[in-house]
Amino acid sequence: MVDPLAPLPDPAAVGDMVGAHGQRHALLSRLGALRDKPEPLAALLVDLRDIEHGDDPRFALTLDHYLESWLGARPHELFRLPSQRLLILAPADAAALLDSGARTLMHMLRSHGFGVLRFTAYDVATQVARLAADIVPGEALDRDALLSAADRAQTAALGRLLDVERVLHGADLNSLVREQPIWSFADPAAPVVVTTELVVSLDELESRLDLPLRRDDWLRHEVAVRLDQGLLRHLTRDRAQDPRPFAIDLHTGTVLEARFADLLRRIPAEVRHRLTAELACWEVGLSAPRFAAAAERLGDLGFAVAVDHAPLSALASLDLGGVDPAYVKALWPRHAAPDVVAQLTAAVQRFGADRLVLWRCDEPAALDAGRAAGIQRYQGPAADAAARASGEGASGEESPRRGDRAESDGGADETAAEPTAAEDATEAKPGLFGRLFGRG
């Protein structure tokens, strides 16, 4: 049994373990207060570590919003924890809602092949010590050490986030953004780039700015939120004269924000009509009405809408809630099943050869299977290589630059694609951002 009054053997270790993650200053203080004076609250601790794309900030943000939506207008607190975990505190009478939301989400993720969501519910009034022990494994909470660690964490987190803000305002994004073409091989002898996706690598952001994005879920999440807006500013300032069609990742939470329309209207109408917003397929599974509302809003503002992150196993049953996408991006699995050609053939029959994009093609086998199924459109290093072998590809766009091909989608160290951009108002050392943005 955990002794809630037992001191931490090494307070600094707790500061390093918990204090190295954003929002932990508030969480540590909150847990200490609850230990001293328990409140009638329900808590839900959600673990995304066994979920595919669980480390994708855009995916995690979508799941956060979904769970919060079950609470309606009820007051609640949300904390993003280390190791892809999430804690929600709500009034005790919302316990059943939190449980229902978590179980529904677990079923949806499992049925679409994303893995098993693990979660634990707590009655905070009687189980605060157990909750604290689960968040800080093996140790109890000492309030003085906890608050000291919280103070250190707050300063460190703010400093890192200010570094990110500095990068996301004012830089020459033409040197930062990488392009990942979607190729049409309708004529195998003359592949054509039909649109170009703009992406960012969080791995590169971490290495170039010395940011602990892999270890700091909160910071990674905050960066992802800012990248949405940064890329839209980039399109306004740096791509307005570029006649090519582009695609960017967005998520419904960003699109449905009140200020989104104002931000988007700064992009000239003739540019918006050349843009495609890619919404992740899991968003329609979480809330078809929100997905449809986001797609409608984007359409009203001149965007085309596509669906990405679709696992092959989900294509047959994917319900898009009445949305008619410009295309659907199906994820090429790293370990393809024997019936992969049959799955792709069925998807072509459903969506059409010119509206299904085989995505993250990082090996020639992906193109071979796609051709056997009748797929015409591909994205990834293998598609780039095939286009080069065909004479660099004629296109309605220019072929991707050599550096872009080298950093194309699908590498082993990639992070999931994020809505991108970086704008740095301070002077940067030459070469600092040369490889900042890359694989999505």
User: For residue 184, is it within any domain?
Assistant: yes
C-alpha 286 chain-centroid distance: 15
User: For residue 427, is it within any domain?
Assistant: no
Q: Pick the last residue of a domain from 101, 135, 156.
A: 156
CATH number at residue 235: 3.20.20.450
- 378 and 276 within one domain: yes
Residue with tokens 């949300």: 78
- 199 and 149 within one domain: no
| DSSP H or E segment with residue 361 | none
Judged by average pLDDT, the poorest of 61-65, 214-218, 421-425 is: 421-425
Give 261's pLDDT tier (boundaries 50, 70, 90). confident
- 182 and 47 within one domain: no
User: For residue 420, is it within any domain?
Assistant: no
Taking residues 407-422, report their average pLDDT.
36
Q: Pick the last residue of a domain from 156, 181, 196.
A: 156
Q: Structure pTM?
A: 0.63
CA distance 37 to 139: 19
Task: Give the 3-state secondary structure of residue 378.
Answer: strand
Please say if the pLDDT value at position 395 is more than 60. Answer: no
Alpha carbon distances (Å) from 379 to 48, 52, 80, 113:
27, 20, 33, 22
- Of 171 and 361, the structure prediction assigns the larger pLDDT to 361
- Of 32 and 34, the structure prediction assigns the larger pLDDT to 34
**What pLDDT shows up at residue 144?**
46
- 237 and 369 within one domain: yes
Give the list of residues 6+ apart from residue 242 with CB closer than 8 angstroms, or none: none
Please say if the pLDDT value at position 90 is more than 60. Answer: yes
CA distance 273 to 269: 6
Alpha carbon distances (Å) from 269 to 65, 163, 191, 261, 274:
30, 33, 29, 12, 9
**What pLDDT shows up at residue 236?**
82
- 267 and 138 within one domain: no
Taking residues 327-353, report their average pLDDT.
92
Average pLDDT of every residue of the chain: 75
User: For residue 51, is it within any domain?
Assistant: yes
**What pLDDT shows up at residue 44?**
95
- 180 and 316 within one domain: yes
Residue with tokens 């090494």: 10
pLDDT in tens, 263-302: 887 888 888 899 999 998 888 877 888 899 999 999 988 9
Taking residues 336-340, report their average pLDDT.
89
Burial 6-39 (b: 16+ CB within 10 A, else e): eebeebeebbebbbbbbbbbebbbbbbebbeebe
CA distance 224 to 179: 18
* DSSP alpha helix (H) spans, 242-329: 252-255, 260-265, 269-272, 281-286, 288-300, 312-315
- 116 and 204 within one domain: no
**What pLDDT shows up at residue 165?**
61
CA distance 327 to 351: 8
Pairing assessment for the beta strands 304-311 and 328-331 based on DSSP bridges: parallel
Percent residues over pLDDT 70 in the chain: 66
Pairing assessment for the beta strands 178-184 and 377-379 based on DSSP bridges: antiparallel
Taking residues 24-30, report their average pLDDT.
70
Taking residues 380-393, report their average pLDDT.
87
Please say if the pLDDT value at position 242 is more than 50. Answer: yes
Judged by average pLDDT, the poorest of 78-92, 190-204, 233-247, 409-423 is: 409-423
Please say if the pLDDT value at position 63 is more than 70. Answer: yes
Number of H helices, E strands in the chain: 18, 12
Taking residues 327-345, report their average pLDDT.
91
Could you give the number of structural domains in the chain? 2
Judged by average pLDDT, the poorest of 34-38, 171-175, 262-266 is: 171-175
Shortest CA distance to 409 belongs to which of 335, 338, 307, 308?
308
**What pLDDT shows up at residue 213?**
64
Please say if the pLDDT value at position 201 is more than 70. Answer: no
- 384 and 246 within one domain: yes
- 333 and 188 within one domain: yes
Q: What sign does the dihedral 191-405-225-108 (CA atoms) show? A: positive
- 376 and 322 within one domain: yes
Domain that holds residue 229: 168-406
CATH number at residue 68: 3.30.70
User: For residue 431, is it within any domain?
Assistant: no
Q: Pick the last residue of a domain from 112, 133, 156.
A: 156
- Of 401 and 62, the structure prediction assigns the larger pLDDT to 62
CA distance 286 to 159: 34
User: For residue 6, is it within any domain?
Assistant: no
- 152 and 200 within one domain: no
Pairing assessment for the beta strands 85-91 and 178-184 based on DSSP bridges: unpaired
- 188 and 241 within one domain: yes
Percent residues over pLDDT 90 in the chain: 32
